[in-house]
Structure 1
């Protein structure tokens, strides 16, 4: 079974989407990338078009792909599943799998393609992935996760990280969480992104698993206290940069998911507020306009503008005309024969914002 993360049309080569295979020319394979602020891997959302857009807003945020299974990469269209733009860096590939040799092979391909990091998904609660021993169910098998991480690290020089929950139903004690983290640490992992909820593996949908189990930041904070040598990144329910600044007093980094997608303009201040950058804050109009050439290239290759502009809808919030902005890009876009003219019409609604 191949679980894939995206189905995007090709784009012109001159926007640097070809896979990079000469490691000597890859400046991205750096061991010390910042995870102070990152955008979570989100299925059906953080495709390469979304990531290109988010990178316009923040130069420093670490971006993650959607989860891609090892089966999709090894037995599907490898180039398609690893395809990305050099403009997206710093960028991490999230893998789903539980066979050490397969994860090692995919990690090597990720490094050859130029990714900064490869991340193992130990947090997805979906029934589909559970049936393939992928995601949160692996928290019940810490030694297997350790074996996977060891194989991945032996195959590559880029960092190997793990994203996980604080537990799963039936294995949700703090002692069991420490056993999991300690076992994976002993295999060589030094960076853990902690979604501060347990995962309920039966009876809840993935959406409900992001909302129903209560957030336990205190558990994640205790983990950082008990494993001070590890990099602990907090994920789950973070909504503002003020929240980020507060959590960074305890944790090494923060990861935003749904809020970063639904309110992407939040990223426009990330570089200044969290990385002390002197880069000017981009306006909403500038963020929109920065995508025009990219969209034109996509259209020239036969792609649909909706593949890209669906990720821009979050720019239309809290101003007169915001509803019209969203209507243009979500409804009218499917009726027009002149997509770039419609894009320009929507962009005008952001003038001065």
Structure 2
């Protein structure tokens, strides 16, 4: 029996960003957000250092492992390993446009191979009892968007996938960098809305260009969930509003309270030999737009990288923000 997952709000998988320290930090801001790992290739999961690659803290749940690959047997084995590690869901990446991903025959280029993706999903689903989901673009390059998206969704859903996170942009694999692919191809929320209306039995999560809680609330009127990437990472204070404003649970988590709640995690990792900067680099935008934000960033950036830096650096950074806050 599959676990029931609430898809209303997710933080996107982002290479070099959503590592285990980032996710532990995000979790103190929101108990309800669905968190995702960075993409890990099936080969790496099978043959690599699993504790380092896919290890996590139990407090991170609910948690999705995103896999990259296009070999059904390897993906099935990696999914089995993920289930054994206790992940709540495994996701197949069909949206990443990087050159490294294309050379490995996975990511966004799989939008042109829906039959292969269907085979991969079927193999993964046969291997595990946790949900197997897909994250995809609307199309790639010159392929017609509507026909490509609907064909892809129909073939992959026929293989048993019922949850799709759709980045509402094409991926241009010829001529645009991965960074440009997150910004230049125009968003087409309308097409994804057409998909949801035409396939109401599927769970459709909207991704791409969403940056505020108000936008989240608006899109939740037409979709089953929203996924935020850079906005959630660069201005993590936003996550402190998710539980109260999107789930109707608890109260807003203030940035200072989040820092203090994250301290025990930092202390435990420091004791294991992790350097402070590996954790605090994910917190630099926490006070964006607030008095003291510049000193917060400066303290963590300049002192947090030094050998032996500890909680005193974090507390000094927080003290500078609190000293700059207006009285009252």
Shared fold (TM-score greater than 0.5)? yes
Match of 1:345 among 312, 316, 322: 316
| TM-score normalised by L of structure 1 | 0.89
SS at structure 2 position matched to 1:185: helix
Deviation at 1:176, TM superposition (A): 2.0
Runs of 4+ deviating beyond 4 Å: none
Q: In 2, Cα distance between the equivalents of 1:120 and 1:155?
A: 14
1:309 is aligned, of 268, 280, 301, to 280
The answer to whether the Cα contact below 8 Å between 2:292 and 2:322 also exists between their aligned partners in 1 is no
Does residue 130 in structure 1 map to residue 102 in structure 2? yes
Of the candidates 234, 241, 245, which is equivalent to residue 206 of structure 2? 234
Q: How does 1:102-121 map to 2 (within 5 A)?
A: 102-121=74-93
1:290 alignment partner, one of 236, 254, 261: 261
The alignment status of 1:299 with 2:275, answered yes or no, reads no
Deviation at 1:80, TM superposition (A): 2.0
TM-score after normalising by structure 2? 0.96
Q: How far has the Cα of 1:177 moved from its partner?
A: 1.4
What is the alpha-carbon distance in structure 2 between the residues aligned to residue 263 and residue 296 of structure 1?
24
Residue in 2 that maps onto 1:329: 300
CA contact (8 A) 2:20 2:56 kept: yes
Q: Are the equivalent residues in 2 in contact too, given 1:55–1:87 (CA < 8 A)?
A: yes
Task: Name the structure 2 match of 1:5.
Answer: none
Q: Deviations over 1:106-136 (max 9, x none)?
A: 1111111111100000000111111111100
CA distance in 1, matches of 2:281, 2:137: 29
Q: Identify the residue that residue 154 of structure 1 maps to in structure 2.
A: 126
Match of 1:257 in 2: 229
Q: Which moved more, 1:282-291 or 1:231-240?
A: 282-291
Distance 1:323 1:173 in 2: 43
Q: Work out the CA distance in 2 between the residues paired with 1:283 and 1:145.
A: 42
Question: 1:16 — aligned with what?
Answer: none
Which secondary structure does the structure 2 equivalent of 1:254 belong to? strand
Three-state SS of the structure 1 residue aligned to 2:205 is strand
> Quick check: 1:78 aligned with 2:50?
yes
1:224 maps to 2:224 = no
Shift of 1:289: 1.1
> How far apart in 1 are the matches of 2:230 and 2:303?
25
May I ask how many residue pairs the two structures share in their alignment?
A: 324
Deviation (angstroms), 1:337 = 4.6
**Deviation of 1:349 (Å):** 2.8
Listed as ranges, the gaps of 5+ residues in structure 1 are 1-28
- Assess if the C-alpha contact under 8 Å between 1:196 and 1:215 holds in 2: yes
2-structure distance, mates of 1:183, 1:137: 16
Measured against aligned partners, the alpha-carbon deviations of 1:20-78 in whole angstroms (never above 9, x if no partner) come to xxxxxxxxx95211011000000000000000000001111100000000111111112
Distance (whole Å) between structure 2 residues aligned to residue 337 and residue 135 of structure 1: 39
Distance verdict in 2 for CA 1:147–1:302, change over 3 Å: same
* 2:149 matches 1:177: yes
| 1:18-29 map, 5 Å | none
Superposition CA RMSD, Å: 1.4
CA distance in 1 between counterparts of 2:219 and 2:118 reads 28
Deviation at 1:101, TM superposition (A): 0.5
Could you tell me how far 1:307 is from its partner in structure 2? Answer: 0.4
Structure 1 residue 96 and structure 2 residue 68: aligned?
A: yes
Structure 2: segments with no counterpart, 5+ residues: none
